[in-house]
Chain A
Amino acid sequence: MSLANDILQYVLGGLTMGGIYALVAVGFVIIHNVTGIINFAQGEFVMMGAMFMVTLTGIGLPAPAAIILSVILVMVVVGLIEVGAIRSAKRASPVSLVIITIGISTVLRGMALLIWGTNPYKVAPFTEGGPIHIGGASIVPQVLWVIGTTAFVLALTFFLFEYTYFGKALRACVVNKYAAQLMGISPGKMSFFAFIFSAALSALAGIVFAPITFATYDMGLMLGLKGFVAAVLGGLSSTPGAVFGGLALGVIESLGAGFVSSGYKDGIAFVILLLVLFLKPGGLFGTSGSKRV
């Protein structure tokens, strides 16, 4: 294999991981924008998506039904969490709420351990077939599912926020929560929606990702952190920034793992996080805090 082929292979692998990171990162951004909370349980939403998929395909459900049902189940669980743990503590400061999300993540991981145990599970790819060759690189068909799903979901998110009335109301809440409230837009309702929508994105990420790797009860921890790094890279409040951050992180990690050492793969993500926080704390796409009065 030539160097060019290697690079192509790494970039494709990186974009696949990057798509997953992007979905998780967009989930972070949506919740952060609407509620001001950084939801550290985001990775656990990914894990739940993958694990429900494992169980549902395990009992013989066809893949499309299992996918839809898994997403719905994760949305229900997260909806309950939002009402039970976030909304009931609404007088708490954002920092306290962030700590609550860390607690939620630990609880979810613990429950997953009790339900599914420590065994890694394999999920069948959505479509059968051998590797596809592109140039000098080869990929498994599931990669196309990951990339396709990511693109589709992100397009849907964009459409929702830019072109629907409800999306505009959500954005109004992001731009000026006080004024939005004066229009009769309920911040509680918007927070609820942000959580379940973001949960759906993360669940989908877990579901399409599961056939590529093994699904385990603790897979959410690292995916959540990587998604967070991607979101910070993009400025934490910008959806396109989060997508870029996710893809960039995936590719950099993959190239780093390929050319340096795969042992440093996770380290690279956190070095990037530190560099961004030191050098450009607003993120690569972050806007400055100034605002026209």
Chain B
Amino acid sequence: MLKVVNINTYYGRIQVLKNISLNVEKGEIVTIIGANGAGKSTLLSTIAGTNKPKSGQIYLSTTQTSCLSVEKIVRAGISLVPEHRQVFDSLSVLDNLRLGAYHRYGNDKKTIEDDIENIMSLFPSLKGRENQIAGTLSGGEQQMLAIGRGLMANPKVLLLDEPSVGLAPLVVKEIFDILLTLKKRGTTILVVEQNAKAALQVADRAYILERGVISFSGKAKDMLKDTRVQSAYLGAKLHA
């Protein structure tokens, strides 16, 4: 479904991503874990098109998206839920969701209201708050709204950038449970996380990103048991 081939991305003269290749199959949850500054967010923003790779290709099914503008990439079916949620905080919950469907608003206005209903059933804590200003929601609710807004684009692949950041453990669990529900509904998900344990528990496969290079990849279940991963990303977390 999503295929990244030998991507190199720079910030000015600093190379952040070095020859990254990965793939995400339809219906999978794939996670990329790694420390701060490893290049996780850059990888997602390169896929979403807000950063342009210097070389390499990104394919969504058969479409090459790496040369497209952000708007066209959204239209093609890649939707990024950005780090720190970034909801439109002075707009209402409902407006946030509607704006998520911006690229298809002109064409299927009718289905959009149904889709909002769907999102609301997925996130019961947003129910009844349609007209509340998004900035007044709690962190967890804002994260749910951000995911809901991302889903409103009807993406083929949903990209999530650190959905757990700054949230209480219970809320983190709730968010990752929702990812499982989404998977059951057939959504393909690529999620970047520092919270390796939470991510590996729901993911099918995982990549480990270290200083711009994928150092390790495999099944999420195996990684949870792998001693190297445990000491670097799971155990280290406990002592941190």
Residues of A within 8 A of B (CB): 165, 168-169, 171-172, 175-176, 178-186, 291-293
For this complex, 7 residue pairs linking A to B, each with C-beta atoms less than 8 Å apart, are: A175-B88, A179-B86, A183-B100, A184-B103, A185-B71, A185-B102, A291-B89
A182→B82 contact, CB < 8 A: yes
Contacts of B87 in A (CB 8 A): 176, 179
Given A169, A171, A175, A293, which contacts B102 in the complex, CB threshold below 8 Å? A169
B102: A residues at CB distance < 8 A? 169, 183-185
Q: Do A293 and B149 touch (CB < 8 A)?
A: no
User: Is B216 engaged at the interface, CB distance under 8 Å to the other chain?
Assistant: no
Rounded to whole angstroms, the CA-CA distance of A259 and B184 in the bound complex is 76
Indicate if the CB atoms of A171 and B149 lie closer than 8 Å.
Answer: no
A293 to B135, CA, bound (A): 9
- In the bound complex, residues from chain B placing their C-beta under 8 Å from that of A180 are 88, 99
Q: Which residues of B contact A184 (CB under 8 A)?
A: 70-71, 74-75, 102-103, 153
Given contacts A168-B95, A183-B99, A183-B100, whether A178 and B82 have CB atoms under 8 Å apart is yes
Chain B residues, CB < 8 A from A186 = 69, 71
Contact, CB under 8 Å: B99 / A185: yes
B residues less than 8 Å from A165 (CB atoms): 98, 105
Q: Which one of B50, B149, B166 lies within 8 Å of A178 (CB-CB)?
A: B50
Residue B168 lies at the interface, judged by CB distance under 8 Å to chain A: no
Most buried by A among B71, B100, B105, B153: B71
Contacts known (A168-B98, A175-B90, A178-B86); A183 close to B149, Cβ less than 8 A: yes
Instruction: Report if A182-B80 is in contact (Cβ < 8 Å); known contacts: A165-B98, A168-B98, A292-B135.
Output: yes
For the complex of A and B, list the 8 residue pairs with the smallest distance between their C-beta atoms, beginning with the closest. Answer: A184-B74, A184-B103, A179-B86, A175-B88, A183-B102, A184-B71, A172-B88, A186-B71
Using Cβ atoms and an 8 Å threshold, which residues of chain A touch B50?
A: 178, 181-182
CA distance A169 to B74 in the complex (A): 15
B188 in contact (CB, < 8 A): no
Contact status A169-B99, CB under 8 Å? yes
Contact B135–A183 (Cβ < 8 Å): no
Chain A residues with Cβ below 8 Å from B48 are 182
Complex Cα distance A168/B98, Å?
A: 9
- Contact between chains at A179 and B82 (CB < 8 Å): yes
- CB-CB under 8 A from A183, the residues of chain B are 74, 99-100, 102-103, 149, 153
Q: How far is the CA of A180 from the CA of B50 in the complex (A)?
A: 12
Nearest A residue to B106 via CB reads A165
Min CB distance A292 to B, Å, is 6
**Could you tell me if B99 and A293 are in contact, using CB atoms closer than 8 angstroms?**
no
Task: Indicate if B232 sits at the interface (CB-CB under 8 A).
Answer: no
Chain B residue at smallest Cβ distance from A168: B95
Q: Is the CB of B89 within 8 A of A292?
A: yes
User: Closest CB of chain A to B89's CB: distance in Å?
Assistant: 6
Nearest A residue (CB) for B101: A183
A104 to B45, CA, bound (A): 35
CA of A185 to CA of B88, assembled, Å: 13
- Cα A231 to Cα B88 with chains together (Å): 24
Q: A101 to nearest B CB, angstroms?
A: 25
Structural contact, A172 and B74, CB atoms closer than 8 A: no
Question: Within 8 Å CB of B74, what residues of A?
Answer: 182-184
Contact partners of A175 in chain B: CB under 8 A: 88-91
B31 within 8 A of A: no
C-alpha spacing A291/B86, complex, angstroms: 11
Could you tell me the distance between the alpha carbons of A78 and B91 in the complex, rounded to whole angstroms?
Answer: 29
Q: How far is the CA of A264 from the CA of B6 in the complex (A)?
A: 68
Q: Which residue of A lies closest to B103 (CB)?
A: A184
B79 at the interface (CB under 8 A from A): yes
Highest count of chain B CB atoms <10 Å: which of A168, A178, A180, A292: A168
User: In the bound complex, what is the Cα–Cα distance between A293 and B88 (angstroms)?
Assistant: 12
B236 to chain A, nearest CB (A): 26
B3 within 8 A of A: no
CB neighbours (8 Å) of A182 from chain B are 48, 50, 70, 74, 79-80, 82, 86, 150
* B26 adjacent to chain A (CB < 8 Å): no
Given contacts A172-B99, A292-B89, A293-B84, 19 further A-B contacts (CB under 8 A): A165-B98, A165-B105, A168-B91, A168-B99, A171-B88, A172-B91, A172-B95, A178-B86, A179-B82, A181-B71, A182-B50, A183-B74, A184-B75, A184-B102, A184-B103, A185-B71, A185-B99, A186-B69, A291-B89
In the complex, the chain A residue whose C-beta lies closest to that of B139 is A293
A174 and chain B: residue at smallest CB distance: B90
List residues of chain B with CB within 8 A of the CB of A168. Answer: 91, 95, 98-99
Using CB atoms, name the residue of chain A closest to B84: A293
Residues on A with C-beta less than 8 A from B88 are 171-172, 175-176, 179-180
